[in-house]
Amino acid sequence: MKYIQFFKILVLILLFGISANAQDLEPGSNNNGLPLRIAYYGENMVHPGLRVGTSYVLHRKVKVRTRIFKFLQDKRGSMTKVIQYKLDGNLGFYNHPNNHTGLLMGAAITRHKNKNESQFSTAWSLGINYLHRFYNIETFQIDANGTIDQIGLGGNGGLMLALAPSMERAFGEKGHIVFVKPAIQLVKYNHTYFSNAIIEFGISLKLSKQ
């Protein structure tokens, strides 16, 4: 277990280049261990891939409000809204047959909202990734003498921005989560950027013992 914790923290440090400062966090707000997120990643919806990652709670805010009508307050209790700001780290790949395999790694800031301790939550995240495309087919060039040169691991890469809403549902005793997360991405392509759409759906597992 210690090894897993160490690994997760190492991944976070590598991905974000920063070390989280626990003193900045609201006491008791952070995780009972970092979750492991595993998801199907569909580039342009149809090109299949896999994405794994974790997330770290940077800040947690709880708002409690008394209901206007007393009978509702007595029946259901106060309304609570939990807002969490998370730092996500992800690694992933997808395959675009007959063209390329994309490898991506990146980070995102997520604003996660849960009302009244519901099993359903919503979130918005803004991420930045580095995407490298490795061509699935051979790449050649020719020199001035007419000699063919085969380029190893031909491809290209660039930064990618992603804006994604997501919906989550908690399940199980540990509070595992299933989620669906469509996203619009701004992708470096040729001399410019263009947008594409992706879909992620998967699970977030809480690995720690509670």
Partner 1 sequence: MKNLLLILIGLCLIVAACSKKESETFDHFFFRNDGADLFVEVNGNIASKTFLLFLHGGPGGGGTAYNSGYYADELEKEYAMVYMDQRGNGASTGNYDKGTLTLAQNSDDIYQLTRFLKAKYGQDISLFLAGHSWGGLTTCHALVTTDIQQEIKGWIEIDGAHDFVLNDRESIKLFKVLATIEIATKNNLEFWTPVLERVNEMDTLAPSVEDAGYLNAKAFEAESYLPIEYPELPDSGLPYTSLNAPNSGMSIWFANLVVNPILNADSYENPLTDRLDEISVPSLFLWGKYDLVVPPALGVSAYNLVNTTEKELVIFENSGHSPMSNEPELFVQEVKKFVELYK
- Residues at the site binding partner 1, with contacts judged by CB under 8 A: 38-40, 44, 46-50, 95-99, 101, 133, 135-142, 146-148, 151, 154, 156-158, 176, 178, 189-192, 194-197, 202-203
Q: Strand 100-115 to strand 120-135: parallel, antiparallel, or no bridges (unpaired)? A: antiparallel
Q: Smallest distance, Å, CB 188 to partner 1?
A: 8
> 85 or 201: whose CB is closer to partner 1?
201
Residues 6+ positions from 49 with CB-CB distance below 8 Å = 40, 41, 42, 43, 92, 93, 94, 95, 102
> 47 or 60: whose CB is closer to partner 1?
47
Q: Smallest distance, Å, CB 164 to partner 1?
A: 17
Within a 10 A sphere around the Cβ of 6, how many other Cβ atoms?
10
Q: Is 8 left (phi over 0), alpha (psi -120 to 50) or beta?
A: alpha
Q: Smallest distance, Å, CB 119 to partner 1?
A: 17
Q: Which residues on adjacent β-strands are paired with residue 28?
A: none
Q: Smallest distance, Å, CB 115 to partner 1?
A: 26
Which string of DSSP letters, residue by residue, matches 60-82?
Answer: EEEEEE--SSHHHHHHH--EEEE
Alpha-helical runs (H) found in 77-207:
none
Question: Cα(125)–Cα(198) distance, rounded to whole angstroms?
Answer: 14
> 5 or 156: whose CB is closer to partner 1?
156
> 102 or 106: whose CB is closer to partner 1?
102
Q: Smallest distance, Å, CB 98 to partner 1?
A: 4
> 33 or 157: whose CB is closer to partner 1?
157
